[in-house]
């Protein structure tokens, strides 16, 4: 207290702390902010902040209880950074329990929960219980994963942009009375592209049937009449032709960009042994291909210690439903909006997994779920199963081998053995109940 600067600060009160809750000169339409900056390396004068907190609560409580009917006119929010390093009022737990009714709230910022436990050994649960929201630190991957994530997300945007251009191209064909998409499986295939180029070069509306037939390849030769009928009577103006050429040029440019990004991603994966091993590891899961595995690794990384469990990871990926329960009744809810890039990749893997006959594990699971939950919920459930398997595989290093896999993908000999055993057990049960007569003893 012998420091002249400290004495000058404490000699008189010119902060007007009550204005934080009632406004400048009592005008509730004004707002006041108070900043208290303390060094993080020297705690010698942290007691001053503790004195400030004590006086602040006294002033605000007095204004709320005796001047404003129990509530402050202005909501006061305390951003309590460096909470563990600042001296606090002795009755802080009781203040935290009662400040909300007076329109005072506190945002406590700490490194981890252990700091609260160390400061308030007996009452730390009271502090956490009075908090309406506990926000944990977000998952920030390492630099290599962040760079890979930037490329995979940019590739996702490029693919989406190309899909939009394909839809515009398709719409232009529909406007021009070209129904080629009703005959061919891929409107952007070689045969379709050759036919559309021929139509773009034509000046009138008539077509040469032999010229169209000469551009058909492989299986389309058997659909010659249907192809000619789909383009017969087309009406393509110069405006539509110019628009289609622009759209196709843009699609070709985007495709070239996607190829360049793919090369960059492959170079990053091949140059990092951890990424390469993890991608190959995930490709053993039914429905997960290399592109999907790279996307998953770019989103969650290879270190699963960032997540406390598979349930946390599934929640982070947006594969868990919200909680909407009142009076013991659970209402229908949707999954969260998290996992903007990860969730679509997992859903895509789920769609591929439920169609696989080579590894029918997820297919059987899907068939059991879809009967009572519907197709969309069943697909989300399969996507969550895949992500749970990924968490366990990356955490333990074990290969994909579910504990109940033998029930789904069982050898024929083992299936017959299980059936015979079940028949014997059922027969013994019926004999004990008296429904079947006991077996006759063998003659000696």
139 is a domain residue:
no
Q: How far is CA 60 from CA 52, 53, 99, 381, 414, in A?
A: 12, 11, 10, 51, 76
Domain end, chosen from 101, 130, 159, is at 130
- Residue whose C-alpha is closest to residue 345's, from 392, 402, 279: 279
pTM for this entry: 0.69
Domain that holds residue 425: 411-444
Clarify whether residues 260 and 277 are in a common domain: no
For residues 129 and 97, the answer to whether their CB atoms sit within 8 Å is no
Clarify whether residues 307 and 187 are in a common domain: no
Clarify whether residues 80 and 188 are in a common domain: no
253 is a domain residue:
yes
135 is a domain residue:
no
Q: How far is CA 421 from CA 241, 418, 428, 439, in A?
A: 71, 5, 11, 17
What is the per-residue pLDDT for 406? 58
Long-range contacts (CB closer than 8 Å, 24 or more residues apart) made by 329-332 = none
Helix (H, G, I), strand (E, B) or coil at 414: helix
Clarify whether residues 112 and 150 are in a common domain: no
Clarify whether residues 182 and 242 are in a common domain: yes
230 is a domain residue:
yes
Domain of 266, CATH number, reads 1.10.287
Residue 119 sits at φ, ψ, to 5 deg, of -75, -40
What is the per-residue pLDDT for 84? 79
137 is a domain residue:
no
Domain end, chosen from 236, 271, 306, is at 271
Clarify whether residues 418 and 391 are in a common domain: no
Number of domains the chain is built from: 4
For residues 148 and 265, the answer to whether their CB atoms sit within 8 Å is yes
| H-assigned helices in 286-411 | 290-300, 310-316, 342-353, 361-373, 375-396, 405-408
What is the per-residue pLDDT for 404? 62
Question: Residue 25: which region, alpha, beta or left (left: phi > 0; alpha: psi -120 to 50)?
Answer: left
Question: How many helices and strands (H and E) does the chain possess?
Answer: 19, 4
51 is a domain residue:
yes
Residue-by-residue pLDDT tens, the chain, 444 positions: 667 777 777 777 778 888 888 988 888 888 888 888 877 777 777 778 888 888 889 999 999 999 898 999 999 999 888 787 777 877 888 888 889 899 999 988 888 788 888 888 888 888 888 888 877 777 788 999 999 999 999 999 999 999 999 999 999 999 999 999 889 988 999 999 999 999 998 887 788 888 888 888 888 888 889 989 998 888 888 999 999 999 999 999 999 999 999 999 999 999 999 999 999 999 999 999 999 999 999 999 999 988 888 999 999 999 988 777 777 777 777 888 889 999 999 999 999 999 988 888 899 899 999 998 899 999 999 999 999 999 999 999 888 887 666 555 556 777 788 788 888 888 888 888 888 888 765 454
136 is a domain residue:
no
What is the per-residue pLDDT for 405? 63
Clarify whether residues 189 and 221 are in a common domain: yes
138 is a domain residue:
no
What is the per-residue pLDDT for 1? 61
Do the strands 104-108 and 76-80 form a parallel or antiparallel pair, or are they unpaired? parallel
Domain end, chosen from 130, 157, 191, is at 130
Clarify whether residues 194 and 124 are in a common domain: no
Clarify whether residues 126 and 246 are in a common domain: no
Angle at 378 between CA 396 and CA 386, to 5 degrees: 15
Clarify whether residues 212 and 309 are in a common domain: no
Clarify whether residues 317 and 428 are in a common domain: no
Clarify whether residues 235 and 288 are in a common domain: no
């Amino acid at each position: 207290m012998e420091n002249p600067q400290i004495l000058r600060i404490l000699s008189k009160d010119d902060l007007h702390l009550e204005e934080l809750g009632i406004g400048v000169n009592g005008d509730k339409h004004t707002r006041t902010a108070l900043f208290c900056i303390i060094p993080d390396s020297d705690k010698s004068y942290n007691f001053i902040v503790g004195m400030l907190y004590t006086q602040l609560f006294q002033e605000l409580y007095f204004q709320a209880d005796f001047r404003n009917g129990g509530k402050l006119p202005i909501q006061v929010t305390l951003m309590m950074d460096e909470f563990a390093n600042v001296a606090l009022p002795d009755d802080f737990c009781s203040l935290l329990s009662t400040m909300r009714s007076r329109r005072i709230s506190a945002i406590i910022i700490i490194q981890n929960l252990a700091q609260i436990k160390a400061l308030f050994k007996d009452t730390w649960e009271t502090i956490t219980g009075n908090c309406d929201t506990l926000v944990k630190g977000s998952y920030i991957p390492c630099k290599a994963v962040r760079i890979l994530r930037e490329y995979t997300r940019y590739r996702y945007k490029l693919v989406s942009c190309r899909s939009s251009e394909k839809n515009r191209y398709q719409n232009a064909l529909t406007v021009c009375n070209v129904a080629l998409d009703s005959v061919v499986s891929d409107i952007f295939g070689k045969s379709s592209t050759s036919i559309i180029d021929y139509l773009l070069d034509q000046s009138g509306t008539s077509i040469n049937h032999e010229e169209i037939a000469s551009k058909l390849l492989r299986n389309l030769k058997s659909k010659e009449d249907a192809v000619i009928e789909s383009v017969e009577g087309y009406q393509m103006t110069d405006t539509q032709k110019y628009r289609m050429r622009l759209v196709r040029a843009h699609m070709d440019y985007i495709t070239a960009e996607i190829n360049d990004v793919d090369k960059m991603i492959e170079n990053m994966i091949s140059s990092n042994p951890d990424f390469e091993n993890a991608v190959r590891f995930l490709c053993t899961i039914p429905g997960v291909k290399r592109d999907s595995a790279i996307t998953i690794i770019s989103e969650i990384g290879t270190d699963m210690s960032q997540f406390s469990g598979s349930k946390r990871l599934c929640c982070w990926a947006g594969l868990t439903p919200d909680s909407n329960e009142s009076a013991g009744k659970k209402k229908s809810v949707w999954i969260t909006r998290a996992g903007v890039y990860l969730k679509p990749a997992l859903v895509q893997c789920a769609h591929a997994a439920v169609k696989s006959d080579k590894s029918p594990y997820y297919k059987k699971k899907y068939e059991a779920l879809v009967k009572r939950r519907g197709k969309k919920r069943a697909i989300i459930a399969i996507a969550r199963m895949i992500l749970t398997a990924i968490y366990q595989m990356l955490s333990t290093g074990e290969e994909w081998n579910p504990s109940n896999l033998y029930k789904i993908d069982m050898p024929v000999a083992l299936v017959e053995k299980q059936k015979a055993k079940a028949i014997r057990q059922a027969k013994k049960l019926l004999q004990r109940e008296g429904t079947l007569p006991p077996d006759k003893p063998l003659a000696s």
